[in-house]
Amino acid sequence: MSNFKHWRLEREAGDANAGVAWAVLDTADSSTNTLGADVMAELGLILDECEKNPPRGLIFKSAKAAGFIAGANIEEFVASDTPEKARALVKRGWDLYNRLAAVNYPTLALVRGHCMGGGTELALACRYRIAVDEPGTKFALPEVMLGIVPGWGGMLRLPQIVGPAAAMDMMLTGKNIDAKRAKKMGLTDACVPPRVMDNAARMMVLSGKPARQSQLPFMQKLMNGPLKGFVASGARKQVAKRARQEHYPAPWAIIDQWQNYGGNTLAVPAERPTSLDALVMHPTTRNLIRVFFLQDRLKGFGKLSGQTGENFAPRHVHVVGAGVMGGDIAAWCVLRGMTVTLQDQSVERIAPAVGRAEKFFERKLRDKKLARFALDRLIADPKGDGVRRADVIIEAIFENLDAKQALFADIEMRAKPDALLASNTSSLKLADIAAKFKDPSRLVGIHFFNPVAMMPLVEVVAGEITSPEAAQKAAAFVRGVDKLPLPVKDAPGFLVNAALAPYMHEAMRCIDEGIAPETIDAAMLAFGMPMGPIELADTVGLDVAVAAGRQLVGESDPPQKLVELVGAGNLGKKSGKGFYNWVDGKAQKSGVGAGDTANAAMAQRLIKPLLDATHRLVSAGVVADAELADAGVIFGTGFAPYTGGPMNYLNNGGR
């Protein structure tokens, strides 16, 4: 056995597997495996040893419980802040993985847990790949989300293994691929349970089977060759629908580098806008990396320590209120492995939420048996019997103070002494809801956003007398259901809604001036928002918009068209008509001002109230600092990530 600081090279002997070598990665002083300079240098030394004494097969495996490889060392990339440094970093991985791909003995990546970025590129450089069938096993090339490209061979090898269309989808979105999906699409050669993974790896590496590249169908091979232009053209059309090149150059660079340079980012002339040099110097890259670290900071709020950490491991959630928010919170908690009792006034009121959950599970799990198991953990509970057993109780009823106070009086009396009591209120003060508690320090806000399954942020609201332990447990629960917890103070609208309301109301003022909704929405889509403010208002509900304007904008004279629509019962998407007509859940837009219409002046007018509100909320201490405000508004509203967030956008003069 050869020992390095980060790797172990173990050779088997004495049986039919004699000569099989295992390269086991265990990055020192880290809970996850990352591919820093030292790790990559040692990988080169392992290949040196195997060149001197070739094994019958070389299997790559992780010693970490956390997963296979999390990817490259992001701090090293941040330090590579010039084109010259970035080229040196990319060349190191490109050359090393090309060397791995060219060895004359079989190689295999045994992937258990997350396999991201450079980890996936290492796996692609092996002859074989096996995925371990566990929920945590995920493959991804997420570089595009950092404003960069998969420069260590991903753009070369992935299209050769799974075909260019599937490869482009992975690279241009950064999406995760689970173990079963990886096998189905040809990314891996096998998907096996943990108990047989080592033996399966041995058998595969000794099998002599041809590599996946040689098994690609003839038409897919053509699409990697003479038909490349056709694939690239289709990919550009898809990217154009969601990412303007001046805002997000990385996806356009991926397409160009694959089509014209064989996936070799080092071969692209520096003067091209799709070159590595151009990406490194583009402000979007700096801002997206900033957003990556902001996301990590939010995740950190979910870590428990001390006695709280030892004793808090929630498995049973009780949700009161089976409307859209309550039902979707319940379904999300079930999807994350918890048992949920869902309470409302009758089984008939709960039934629609269960029906939505069933479709949600089938769509997400893509397995009817698993969907049925999930549905079994969602229990209709009209009498609220689950309160007594629940570890976490979330109130999600309508925004009425008296009703919430009465509900919590009953809950506090019946709940376990150590149960977490939370309200999903979006507008009422926690202090008011907790006014009739025997122990008001138990109440915390856990504010999800609609749609629950899509919005990554959850505001964790601490009232003036909320105990630090309750707030800490709430953040841990939020992280435990795979959301991003943002600590905020108990103020009207907290952070996200308080920043969003003035922006949406300014957009509705524009309608009163005779500007078409399509024109307004198109301007903000071109700016980089995921949805225009008028369509967003319709989606949230115009009755909600009226209430938000009254409370958060302080409007005594709300937008005229908004008042007219609400007065006529036209509340937006939920009623089928608002500023737009809605058919099958989609806004029906005319061609007037629609499409990719950049209107910088209008965008700046609309965004100014949001920027001003965010600045004011930071000054008032609703969030701890400007960085957290940026994180909250990006992950809570979809505010254009390429800007780095509203405070960063302000500080950089609107760039």
**Residue corresponding to tokens 């991201």:** 116
Q: Kindly write down the DSSP assignment for every residue of 371-393, as one continuous string.
A: HHHHHHTEEE-TT-GGGGT-SEE
Does residue 451 have a cis bond before it (omega within 30 degrees)? yes
Helix segments in 206-346, DSSP class H: 218-223, 228-240, 249-261, 276-281, 283-300, 306-311, 324-335
Which residues fall within 8 angstroms of residue 628, CB to CB, at 6 or more apart? 294, 297, 298, 486, 487
Residue 253: φ, ψ to 5°: -65, -40
Q: How far is CA 29 from the centre of its chain?
A: 26
**What is the C-alpha to C-alpha distance for residues 198 and 182, in angstroms, rounded to an integer?**
19
Q: Residue 72 corresponds to which tokens in the numbers above? A: 């490259």
Within 91-205, strands assigned E span: 107-111, 114-116, 128-132, 138-140, 177-178, 190-192
Question: Is residue 114 within 8 Å of 66, Cβ to Cβ?
Answer: yes
Instruction: Write out the H or E segment, with its range, that includes residue 367.
Output: none
Q: Residue 651 corresponds to which tokens in the numbers above? A: 């500080």
- 49: amino acid identity, one letter: E
**What is the C-alpha to C-alpha distance for residues 275 and 288, in angstroms, rounded to an integer?**
18
Active site residues: 426, 447, 459, 497
